[in-house]
């Protein structure tokens, strides 16, 4: 199965792989694993900022998480040259900028998880953590990091 073709068939356009904002690399490879640094919520208009439970609802948070997922996939393509070298999505760790009483972090991170399954099918099913954060860099709503297995 061609994951590159899946992107085209589904009309999914990846952003350019974002450059790191500090002293780290966007991804690191160890053996057959690619570790992608946390990708923050942003779209063609800039950063997606907000706090779940205060200025954003779950639907908007899930959309922000999907944007993180697109950036993760863009970094993965930059790391491998082609998504067709991907064996599986191993794990996502999602951070949600949310109020202390907000408890729907998993529903927010589903925006990214659903994208992984949409693009990679069964190989997109993964282990995951979805946690609250009192604040995230630049006031973004969501940040997600990932581990992928490649050939």
pLDDT in tens, the chain (151 residues): 799 999 999 999 999 998 998 999 999 999 999 999 999 999 999 999 999 999 999 999 999 999 999 999 999 999 999 999 999 999 999 999 999 999 999 999 999 999 999 999 999 999 999 999 999 999 999 999 999 999 9
Q: Could you give the 3-state DSSP secondary structure of residue 62? A: helix
Give the chain's domains with CATH numbers: 37-150 (3.30.1330.40)
Report the percentage of the chain scoring pLDDT > 70: 100
Written as six digits, the tokens of 150 are 């490649």
Q: What is the reported pTM?
A: 0.97
Q: How far apart are CA 109 and CA 82, in angstroms?
A: 25
Q: What is the DSSP letter of 19?
A: P
CB 29 within 8 A of CB 79: yes
Written as six digits, the tokens of 97 are 């900028």
CB 144 within 8 A of CB 112: yes
Residue among 99, 44, 76, 48 nearest 146 (CA): 76
Kindly report, residue by residue over 100-123, the tens digit of the pLDDT: 999 999 999 999 999 999 999 999
Q: How far apart are CA 14 and CA 143, in angstroms?
A: 17
């Amino acid at each position: 199965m061609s994951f590159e073709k899946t992107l085209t068939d589904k009309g999914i356009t990846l952003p350019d792989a974002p450059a790191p904002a500090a002293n780290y690399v966007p991804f690191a490879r160890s053996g057959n694993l690619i570790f992608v640094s946390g990708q923050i919520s942003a779209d063609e208009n800039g950063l997606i900022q907000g706090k779940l439970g205060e200025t954003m609802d779950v639907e908007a948070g899930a959309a922000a998480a999907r944007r993180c997922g697109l950036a993760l996939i863009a970094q993965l393509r930059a790391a491998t040259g082609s998504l067709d070298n991907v064996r599986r999505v191993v794990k996502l760790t999602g951070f949600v900028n949310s109020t202390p009483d907000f408890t729907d972090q998993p529903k927010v991170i589903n925006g990214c998880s659903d994208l992984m399954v949409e693009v990679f099918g069964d190989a997109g099913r993964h282990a995951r953590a979805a946690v609250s954060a009192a604040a995230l860099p630049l006031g973004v709503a969501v940040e997600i990091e990932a581990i992928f297995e490649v050939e």
